[in-house]
Amino acid sequence: MTTTLPLESRKQAAFEHARAGRFGEAAELLLSVLKEVPQDIGALLLLGDVQHVGGRTQDASRAYSGALQAIQLAGGQVAPGIRQGVQRAQARLAEYAQGYEAFIEGELPKAGRSKRFDQSVDILLGKSGIYLQQPTKYYFPGLPQIQFYDTAEFIWVAGLEAKTADIKRELMGVLEDHAAFRPYLERHDSQPNVKSHKLVGNDDWSAFYLWKDGERVEENCERCPVTAAAFENIPLDRLPGQAPSVLFSLLKPGAHIPPHHGLINTRLICHLPVLVPGPAWLRVGSETHYWQEGKVCIFDDSIEHEAKNDGNETRVVLLFDIWRPELSEQERTEIAKFLGAISTFSGEKVVTGN
């Protein structure tokens, strides 16, 4: 039997069968090779070609995907002799994915689908990754993995949005004072800056604080009385000496905040866009949101996120943090005491920093 031939002889025989249109015989030989050498990239690519021409696209997809996976396991380098085969495999996998997506669309039209279901389909099709909470300092278990929250679930949102014009008027007064804003990521030369990047100490991303590290900045609140008063009925996450922060966050034209994770997952970050003269966006996980003046957005910053101002003028949002609504009063008290204790022990704030 040909399946008892040496490996290289079987591979050559499979190639000859495929060239002669004997796809079943070719597939049988290649499968026998892969039983002994599962990561033989050449055999996987040829098996994919054979199955594709034979109309067995599911099997071809598995073979092509196996070849690409084997390449990654081998370090990602593609030998010149198989480069065209790899490109062909990638093109056909993209073609299969489009066909699969079209099938799903026919069974469940996108127009009638829920947002979360759409996300699940994108993950299945490889169009999106799985983004989970990964806070860099403190993780509280059991909280839902929600990228952007529905603002209709927060009773205070409408009242804050109604104050946008007055808040913007106060902001414009502050913007006349160029020294009022300081870099959001402050440089601390007394500490190592191992993860430092170009926005540290850079006023391309800068802040004007009304509350900082849980304390009112009285001078700034006096300059923006309407804005300061707007937070009386908002559930800010009060952690003595650490939170909340309430600030005008300024992003200059072209400035990009690279992908990163927040420090803790027990809070949500809220933006009231106050000055958005051009396209500017915030990506959280798999969702990209374009800021609109006067429209609050609420998101979990412990999930990977990034932002960019693609406009030609400065973008400013009123940024603040609130307790996650899923936390009970007891849990909020426990978290506040615990993070306070950690801060006392280490001498460092848990919920602020670069």
Would 121 be classed as within a structural domain? Answer: no
Check whether residue 230 and residue 324 sit in a common domain. yes
Q: Which residue has the tokens 């006067």?
A: 294
Question: Does a structural domain hold residue 140?
Answer: no
Contact by Cβ (8 Å): 138, 350: yes
Interval 125-151: pLDDT, tens: 888 899 999 999 999 999 999 999 999
Peptide bond into 135 cis (omega under 30): no
Query: Considering the domain boundaries, does residue 45 fall inside one?
Result: yes
Q: Give a yes or no: residue 131 inside a domain.
A: no
**Tens-place pLDDT, residues 207-257:** 999 999 999 999 999 999 999 999 988 999 988 888 899 999 999 999 999
How many folded domains does the chain comprise? Answer: 2
Same domain, 21 and 98: yes
pLDDT tens, residue by residue, 17-48 = 888 888 888 888 888 888 888 888 888 988 99
One domain, residues 88 and 235 = no
Domain of residue 88, residue span? 2-107
Share of the chain above pLDDT 70, in %: 94
Query: Does residue 321 sit in helix, strand or coil?
Result: strand
Does 88 lie in the same domain as 169?
A: no
Report d(CA 263, CA 311) in Å as an integer: 29
- State whether 178 and 268 are in the same domain: yes
Burial of 85 (C-beta count, 10 Å sphere; 0-12/13-18/19+) = buried
Position 146 in a domain: no
Is 247 buried (19+), middle (13-18) or exposed (0-12) by CB count in 10 A? buried
Average confidence (pLDDT) over 141-165: 97
pLDDT on residue 354: 39
Assigned domain for 70 exists: yes
CATH of the domain at 55: 1.25.40.10
What is the DSSP code string of 202-213?
A: -TTEEEEEEEET
Same domain flag for 188 and 101: no
Q: Does 93 share its domain with 157?
A: no
Say if residue 112's pLDDT is above 60: yes
How far from chain centre, in Å, is Cα 283?
6
Among the three residues 79, 107, 135, which one is the final residue of a domain in this structure?
107
Per-residue model confidence (pLDDT) at position 188: 55
Residue 17: inside a domain = yes
Answer with the one of 82, 107, 132 that is the final residue of a domain. 107
Asked, for residue 250, whether it belongs to a domain, the answer is yes
User: Which CATH number fits the domain that encloses residue 205?
Assistant: 2.60.120.330
pLDDT, residue 187, reads 67
Sign of CA dihedral 323, 324, 329, 332: negative
Supply the pLDDT for residue 222.
96
pLDDT digit string, tens, across residues 289-302: 999 999 999 999 99
Structure confidence at residue 87 (pLDDT): 92
